[in-house]
Amino acid sequence: MPFLVITSGEELPQQQLLARALAAAGGLDLPTAAMTARRCWGILGGGMSGEAAAALEAVCAGLGIAVARLPAEALTPLPQPSPVNRLLLEGDRAAFSGPGGFSAAVSAAEISVLAAAPVKEEFFRTTKTTEGPSAQEKAIRFGIMAVTGLPIGLGKSKEVLKQVRSSETSFYMDILTGGSRLRLASDDFDFSVLGAKKTFSSQVNFRLLAAELAAFSPGAFRNTGLKALLAGRPLAALPYDSLADLEKETLRLSLAKGLAGA
């Protein structure tokens, strides 16, 4: 039977430790192991034989990394996220609502994982500009006219289409509850739930909302990004290159939370 090995606690071990474990158990050179450790989010191996899983467990034990071995089929995709853009907190109930009349009400105890991340997204836009001949082109044409006397003109302007690359950082939070996954985004959320604490910055509001939800559900496992947000730590160094990183980390946390509650 193939196996899956994951880090078993809420806290993700340091990448340097994970890299050492992957290098020793998998025969990888350290640069390759470091790249793997950066993207594994605590999922150290899947589809492993019993012998390979045991070897990885032994290496991790020697480095002080707590791991768990699960059947490989435990690594099933998370439910598709349901977008939410409003929240109402009343006592022990959180009522979420989203596009298309979606709504979900959950208790604090029903929330198993809170996972947040800043994700830089790049996009391209097309701009149209009018450009005339360059100074050098004008000088050449003027010289020709001066020598030949021919009225060739100084050149015409033309429209030029350009692709301009832009980037912006958005914040996302996935909320696991029972068999569902809710997702809120900083750029598409009504932060009126914050009341007087609401600011004009969606990113500041997101931090405040993250703190509200963390306080509301103290038993939920929290990911690396949420911990950094709550502690006010710099976020630029966090290795979230896309939403796929957030999803992989959330998946590992859901498995670890299940083990903790077993």
User: Is residue 227 classed exposed, middle or buried when 0-12, 13-18 and 19+ CB atoms within 10 A define those classes?
Assistant: middle
Structure-token match 């604490």, residue found: 197
Do 118 and 226 contact (CB within 8 A), yes or no? no
Pick out the chain residues at pLDDT < 50. none
pLDDT, residue 255, reads 96
Q: Could you say which of 3.90.1150.10, 3.30.1390.10, 3.40.190.10, 3.40.50.300 is the CATH number of the domain covering 3-74? A: 3.30.1390.10
What pLDDT sits at residue 189?
Answer: 96
pLDDT tens across 182-221, in order?
999 999 999 999 999 999 999 999 999 999 999 999 999 9
pLDDT of residue 129: 66
Residue boundaries of the structural domains of the chain: 3-74, 82-118+172-261, 123-164
